[in-house]
Every structure is written in C-alpha cells, then in structure tokens.
Chain A
Amino acid sequence: MTTAQPLIQARGLVKRFSGFTAVNAIDVAVRAGEAFGFLGPNGAGKSSTMRMIGCVSPPSGGELRILGMDPVRDGPAIRARLGVCPQLDTLDPELTVRENLITYARYFGIPRRVARLRAAELLDFVQLSERADSKVEPLSGGMKRRLTIARALVNEPEIVLLDEPTTGLDPQARHLVWERLFQLKQQGVTLVLTTHYMDEAEQLCDRLVVMDGGRIVAEGSPRVLIEQHSTREVVELRFAGESQEPFVSKLEQLGERVEVLPDRILLYVPDGDAAVVEVTALGLHPLNVLVRRSGLEDVFLHLTGRTLID
C-alpha cells in the first residue's frame, strides 16, 4: 500500500447540469488519513463534488480517480470501500435502528452474523445502544444523524464522505457528532466533509478548500488560510444609529481591512487591543467592542467579498 498516492484525485473536474455549471474545473487531492473539507455557501458546488466522489454522479469533464479507480467504470467496487453520510437522512423510518444497520451491511456482502456484531459495536460508538430496537421514526434529528454515521461505517470504509453532517442539529447534538468524527479521525479514517459552518471546518479539517460559484478560491489548513487571508485579530465594533457606514472612512486608516456588515463593522488588525485604543483616540465611541482572533469566517468574507465586487 502506497501512502504517497492520494485516495481522491481530481484534475479539472467539472459538473454541468442543463444550463449551468455546478463545479467548474477544480483540482483536489485527498491523502490517506487526513480530514479534508469543502467549505462554502449553498450552491457553491460542494454537494455536486461529493456526489461525484461518491460515484453516483458522472463527471461532465476533467479527471477523477478514487482509490486509484475510475468512478464511472468501477462505481460499485469503489462504493464498497466508501462510507456515505448524505445531507438528508435516507434511513428506513419503519425499521428499527439495528435493522437499518444490518440490512445495509448486507448490501456490502457482509455475512449476517458479522453484521450483527458490527451493528452492536457501531451503536455503542454512536451512543444509540439503548435505542437499538426502537423504530427510527420517533428518534431526534441528532440520533438519526448518528445512526446515519454508524451506517456509513458499517463496511469499515477507507474514506467517509459526510455532506453537511451537522446541518439542522442543535448545538449539543452537533458537539456529539463532532466528537465521534474526531474519534474516527484519530483512528486514521480519511474524512471528506462539506460544511457551511466555519467552526465545524476549523474543528475537524486538517486541510480544506473554500468553494464559491463552483470554483476553489483558496486551499490550505485552517491556520494557513487564516494567516494568508486575514489578520491575526479582528475588532468588532457596533455603533449607535441606523447605519454603520459613516464610521467606515475614519476606521479604514486603522486596520489592514474593514468589512461592513448590517449591524457591525469588522476591523482587521494585527493587535486588537492596540486598535481599540486608537479607535477611542479618534473620538469614536462604539456601543459594543469585541476583540477576537481571526477565523475561517473572516477568510470567507474576505474571499467571497472580493468575488462579489469583481
């Protein structure tokens, strides 16, 4: 087994639907054991990319190799080694939690006896053992998600694809899912996930690409992306009054960059506390001041903000 070769390799990958291009010539390489993220807003092309990697959507152009194979020709052979957690739950609500896992394991040719063992182990892993014999229908959203993740692991996959794994979950449920995904990552499972949550990407991804309008606009580890595309710190200022605009021109001289949001102004600076002193020195008195470190959210704002202006 060679670790040098990427598990997923895309070059100039394109997905066109009648009339529009969802994925526009992207290059991606995912290595064994890493947690790789596609970050972007709705409609950025993340899910289309995931479906191509999941071998259920043939590419319209470019090259795609998964586990060294061709997704169009070798779809079933590749899918046998993938775990897929789709954006919307595709569980059978009429079956029990356990039955959902066992019937799914059979699609991979896993013997019934082994499937039962795997199901018990996985339910333990996602903390659903107590609900093993209850129907899926009454389960909470977080429980269904964890069951979907367990189902994605039933074949001991080499790559797990997670499309928006925590969208629609409450904070507590999200943290539980993150915990399990982090544990998988520790075990060396290759994770590929899409998200529009910046915190999710920061928590889980070793490396990620930022997508916008079907293109990759930045690539790197969360830390490198923040270093490259944002300052070390951000000062969030909120002024009294209808509009924040009048304050912008005064603030512009203080930082590397200023972003205006409807309810606040973001001032990008190397040293937040020093900047706050300067703001006061200018005779400005914001209602609220918050100094924080830059995050992927700022990277995203910076990158897509620019494309919007272009």
Chain B
Amino acid sequence: MTQLAARRARPGPARVPALAVLQYHLVGYRRTWRGGALSSFLLPTLTVLGFGVGVGAYIDQGVDGVSYLEWIVGGLLASTALQVAIAESTWPVYSSLQWTKIYFAQHAAPLRVADIVAGQLAFVLLRVLTSAAVFLLVTGVLGALRSPWAVLALPVAALLGLAVAAPTFAYAATASSDSWLALLFRFAVIPMTLFAGVFFPVESLPVGLRWLAYATPLWHAVDLSRAATLGTAPVWSVTGHLLYLAAWAAGGWLLAHRALRRRLVV
C-alpha cells in the first residue's frame, strides 16, 4: 500500500536537489575510489620522505627553529588540497559539458544551474577533505605533526578547496578545448606550488614576487595550515586569511554559476 502510494506521488524537484547531484557523483566514485585511495596514501608518504627527509637532511639548522620536515608538512597538506581540488574541477567539469554531457541531462531534470554547481563542488570538497585527512593521518603516524591543532588544517584545506575549485569550475566550463585545462596546471598550479610558501618561506622571494605569492589563495592556506601543524600563530591574521579565501570561494561560485548558465541556458 505505502509502496503504491509512494509510487503514485507526483515527483517534484528533490528536496535538496544538490544532494541528489552529490549522490550521483558518489556512485561514479564508488567505481574508481580504490586507485585514488592508494595514491592518496602513497603521495603524502612519498613527498614527506622525499622533501622532508631527503631534502631536509641538507638543511641542518631547520626553518624557524623546527626541522624542515615539520616546517614543510603543513604547506604540503595545503598543496595536496589544491591539487585535488583543481584536478576534480577541471576534466570532470569539462567532460560533463563536452563529452558525456551529463550537465545537460541534469538540467533537463528539475535541477537548477545552482544545484548542479553545488553538487559538483560538494563532491570536490569531499575529495579534498578525505585526501587531506589521509595526508594528516600518514604524516601524523610518521611523527611530522608538532601539535594537536593540526586537525584545524582540515577545515583550512576544505576552504582552500572551495576557493580554487569554484573559479576552476568556471574556467573549465568556459574552456573551448581541453588543452586549456593543461595550461591551468602549467601556469597556475605548478607556479603556485613552487612559490606560494610550500617549500620555502615567501619572505625569501624578491618583494615583487612576494606580493604575487600573497595574492594566491594557496599561500593563505599554507600559512594557516603550517600554523596548525606547528601549533604556532600564522604570519598574517587568521581572520584575514579566512576572509581572503572566502572571497575567492564566493567570487568563484558566482563565476561558475554564470559560466554554466551560459552553457546550459541558451
């Protein structure tokens, strides 16, 4: 009886439509998570060993009074979050518009453009959070974390994830060919990773470049994340960092919404 009643009920838009979109992405992820999970354990282990232990061996005096490994781990966590966030919002978004055209199917259902963006970004956020959690676990086990405040690096990673995934979504939704996506890695991800304070303090850069580093969302997350893993105060104010990252996320959201709207509503 109840079954019949439920089946007769007129379908409307889902109560929280973005959640249905997130579920869709999770169903897909269920097929591929194993390979991803392995690399999300392997990657932090290798980078900690390579940069922390390997490179660290040449840096006798450490940085700011802590060992190089301990100094670098917060930044590496943030840069991992950055990589995952951008990887998950470039090709997946591009493909959903150009190849599988899944977004068009979603938009033909009672989903709004905002639901589609929100569902995709929620999935990216989950990926960022789980990768960051694994990273924290591995580095914790390896003894590279100096403070229990390190757990706060997780929300920082999440915020950074949104701050970069949202504008990247907009970029991928606008891209006319997938070679634009590779450019993003070459000209944004790699330079950011190298110069936004992950491997050496931004203060070692010449003043002009230093301000470029400050402008990147990554540096703000690195400073917060490092403060968390070291249990010290960040170089800038916490509120300033959070507001800056939130501004990227909010601006990115608006751009992503507009870009997808332009593709779906014509």
Interfacial residues, chain A to chain B (CB-CB below 8 A):
17, 51, 54, 56-58, 75-77, 79-82, 84, 86, 88-95, 99, 102-104, 106-111, 113-114, 117-118, 151, 155-156
Residue contact B10 to A81, C-beta cutoff 8 Å: yes
Separation in Å of the B125 CB from the closest CB of chain A?
19
Question: Which of B15-23, B169-177, B226-234 binds A?
Answer: B15-23
Cα of A170 to Cα of B174 in the assembled complex, Å? 36
Contacts of B24 in A (CB 8 A): 92, 103, 106-107
Nearest A residue to B108 by beta-carbon distance? A84
Q: Is the interface of A mostly helix, strand, loop or mixed?
A: loop
Contacts of A79 in B (CB 8 A): 108-110
Q: Which of A94, A104, A110 contacts B105 (CB 8 A)?
A: A104
How many pairs of A and B residues are in contact by the CB < 8 Å rule?
A: 106
Residue contact B109 to A90, C-beta cutoff 8 Å: no
Q: Nearest 4 A-B pairs (CB), nearest first?
A: A90-B105, A109-B14, A107-B109, A108-B11
Cα of A137 to Cα of B147 in the assembled complex, Å? 49
- 8 A Cβ contacts from B28-70 to A: 28, 31
Can you list 6 A-B contacts (CB < 8 A)? A75-B112, A76-B112, A80-B12, A90-B104, A106-B23, A108-B13
Cα of A110 to Cα of B110 in the assembled complex, Å? 12
Separation in Å of the B32 CB from the closest CB of chain A?
8
Separation in Å of the A259 CB from the closest CB of chain B?
37
Nearest B residue to A57 by beta-carbon distance? B266
Chain B interface size, as a band, is 20 to 34
Nearest A residue to B19 by beta-carbon distance? A106
Q: Which of B6, B14, B107, B264 contacts A108 (CB 8 A)?
A: B14
Separation in Å of the A101 CB from the closest CB of chain B?
11
Residue contact B265 to A58, C-beta cutoff 8 Å: yes
Residue contact A110 to B11, C-beta cutoff 8 Å: yes
Cα of A113 to Cα of B24 in the assembled complex, Å? 16
Residue contact A80 to B6, C-beta cutoff 8 Å: no
Contacts of B7 in A (CB 8 A): 114, 117-118
Q: Which of B6, B20, B107 contacts A56 (CB 8 A)?
A: B107
